[in-house]
Amino acid sequence: MEPDIRTRAAIEEHWRASERGDTEAEHAIYAADAILDYPQSGERFRGRAAISAQRGGHPASRHFTVHRIAGSGDLWVSECIITYDGVPTYSVSMMEFAQGQVVHETQYFADAFGAPEWRTALAEPMPGRDIARA
């Protein structure tokens, strides 16, 4: 199997495992010494065990909707909506791979916002979505 096909399949399984709450399968993608960065909070988690522990200890009910996975070689990006206790948060996950495992992930989070009225004539809704107004 081609390396990019294997990597994409591993990322897809990571997100499926995240959705079903299978912590072991969710974190199998990470190298033992992987790093996870959350730029908005300034947090860095070092090692698969620390990454798994901080996610496994999350008090909210979480659900994952993957909108797009793109990449090749050692750099892959996933665009997702992660819903925490019913509240959607938009997320971009950048995964860097070495030897078939994630060695560094940077995950960005953004809350939804309403579109200003002045852009109404310029925008159309994204597929499957309504435009939220400010």
Whether this prediction's pTM lies above 0.85 is answered by: yes
Q: What's the average model confidence in pLDDT over 111-117?
A: 90
- Whole-number mean pLDDT of the chain? 94
**Does pLDDT of 1 surpass 80?**
no
Chain segment 25-80, per-residue pLDDT in tens: 999 999 999 999 999 999 999 999 999 999 888 888 999 999 999 999 999 999 99
Which helix (H) or strand (E) segment is 38 a member of? strand 30-38
For the domain with range 3-111, which CATH number is right: 3.30.420.40, 3.90.1200.10, 2.60.120.260, 3.10.450.50?
3.10.450.50
**Spatial separation of the C-alpha atoms in residues 44 and 101, rounded to whole Å:** 18
